């Protein structure tokens, strides 16, 4: 199994969640061992996708370099990671990735349009060797060894529509597209009003998020899945875990996980080389993995 990139450059335009202004996003192929690199064309700054470049995790995963940032990268990265893409240049002309419909479905369609192509170097995979956990009170995120890739997420909200939700994704590219990619980000009306008073979430609307008041979902079309909320948390987690720099094999488990906890988990994982091993996929044992990303 070899590293991959895209066959051709493609682009889209969407609204930025926080500024509410149009953002052009373009993706371009990169050579083997280049990794995922973000580039802000408006200020001529490249920001490699590494944990050290994460500068904020309160509302979204934000990377930065030399004082310039790119926000809300996790939905785009979720799709890139689910497609098993190793090398890619992601270009935006503003300080955030467009939110599209609040899910990763638009980015999946963009990648389908770009088409994937194999490169000349073996694909590298991180195999989780030891349990790694970040816990804060009842909340935790955890990685553990496994021969497969599974995301197991639980959330609890004191809201009549959400309550407690649990979902397990047995990962393949196809299961991701069918079960996860269309799950939208969500928020509460009082939070949206507060954020807008601070000059944030100016692009947020019922077109790109599930919004709830104290009792119900405000979107006229309702939910895409009855448990759309926890599915979106898995979507976010997949994007956040891409910061380790490659696909991994192991189980991810979370109770009320967040961007912040996910970031701390990537740092904790990478801090000790005994937690993992990096393997090159060059033999017949990779057939199951190749099926996962087919």
Q: At CA 1, angle to CA 267 and CA 276, rounded to 5?
A: 25
Helical residues (DSSP H) of the chain, grouped into ranges: 74-82, 105-114, 173-179, 189-197, 228-241, 259-271, 287-292
Candidate list 75, 232, 259, 263, residue with the active-site label: 259
Average pLDDT, the chain: 93
Q: At CA 208, angle to CA 138 and CA 227, rounded to 5?
A: 45
Q: Mean per-residue pLDDT for 169-176?
A: 95
Tokens 């448990």 -> residue: 227
| pLDDT (tens digit per residue) in 244-265 | 999 999 999 999 999 999 999 9
What are the backbone angles phi and psi of residue 150, rounded to the nearest 5°?
A: -140, 140
CA distance 20 to 99: 10
pLDDT at 32: 96
Say whether 157 sits in a helix, a strand or coil.
Answer: strand
| pLDDT (tens digit per residue) in 212-249 | 999 999 999 999 999 999 999 999 999 999 999 999 99
pLDDT at 88: 98
Helical residues (DSSP H) of 83-158, grouped into ranges: 105-114
What is the reported pTM? 0.94
CB 7 within 8 Å of CB 29: yes
CA distance 117 to 107: 17
pLDDT at 229: 97
User: Is 170 labeled as catalytic in the residue annotation?
Assistant: no
CATH topology assigned to domain 2-292 = lpxc deacetylase, domain 1 (3.30.1700)
Percent of the chain surpassing pLDDT 90:
83
**Token reading at 144:** 């553990």
CA distance 66 to 68: 6
pLDDT at 189: 86
pLDDT at 283: 63
For residue 288, is pLDDT > 90?
A: no
Per-domain boundaries in the chain: 2-292
**Token reading at 165:** 């939700």
| pLDDT (tens digit per residue) in 37-56 | 999 999 999 999 999 999 99
| pLDDT (tens digit per residue) in 147-160 | 889 999 999 999 99
Task: Find, among 116, 30, 128, the residue nearest to 79 by Cα.
Answer: 116
Q: Mean per-residue pLDDT for 193-210?
A: 80
CA distance 273 to 294: 30
CA distance 142 to 133: 4
């Amino acid at each position: 199994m070899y590293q991959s990139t895209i066959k051709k450059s493609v682009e889209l335009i969407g609204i930025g969640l926080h500024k509410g202004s149009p953002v052009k996003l373009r993706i371009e192929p990169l050579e083997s061992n280049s990794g995922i690199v973000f580039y802000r064309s408006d200020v001529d700054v490249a920001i490699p996708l590494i944990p050290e470049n994460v500068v904020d995790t309160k509302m979204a995963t934000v990377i930065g370099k030399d004082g310039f940032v790119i926000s809300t990268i996790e939905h785009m990265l979720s799709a890139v990671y689910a497609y098993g893409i190793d090398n890619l240049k992601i270009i935006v002309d503003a300080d955030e990735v467009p939110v599209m419909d609040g899910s990763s479905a638009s980015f999946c369609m963009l990648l389908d349009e770009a088409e994937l192509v194999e490169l000349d170097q073996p694909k590298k995979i991180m195999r989780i060797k030891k349990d790694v956990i970040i816990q804060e009170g009842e909340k935790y995120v955890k990685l553990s060894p496994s021969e497969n890739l599974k995301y197991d997420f639980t959330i609890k909200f004191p809201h009549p529509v959400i309550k407690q939700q649990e979902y397990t994704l047995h990962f393949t590219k196809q299961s991701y597209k069918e079960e996860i990619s269309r799950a939208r980000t969500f928020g509460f009306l009082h939070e949206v009003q507060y954020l807008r008073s601070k000059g944030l979430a100016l692009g947020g609307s019922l077109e790109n998020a599930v919004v709830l008041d104290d009792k119900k979902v405000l979107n006229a079309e309702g939910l895409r899945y009855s448990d759309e909320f926890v599915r979106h948390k898995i979507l976010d987690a997949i994007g956040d875990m891409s910061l380790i720099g490659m696909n991994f094999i192991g189980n991810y488990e979370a109770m009320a996980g967040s961007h912040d906890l996910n970031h701390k988990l990537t740092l904790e994982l990478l801090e000790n080389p005994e937690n993992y091993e990096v393997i090159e996929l060059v033999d017949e044992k990779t057939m199951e993995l190749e099926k996962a990303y087919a």
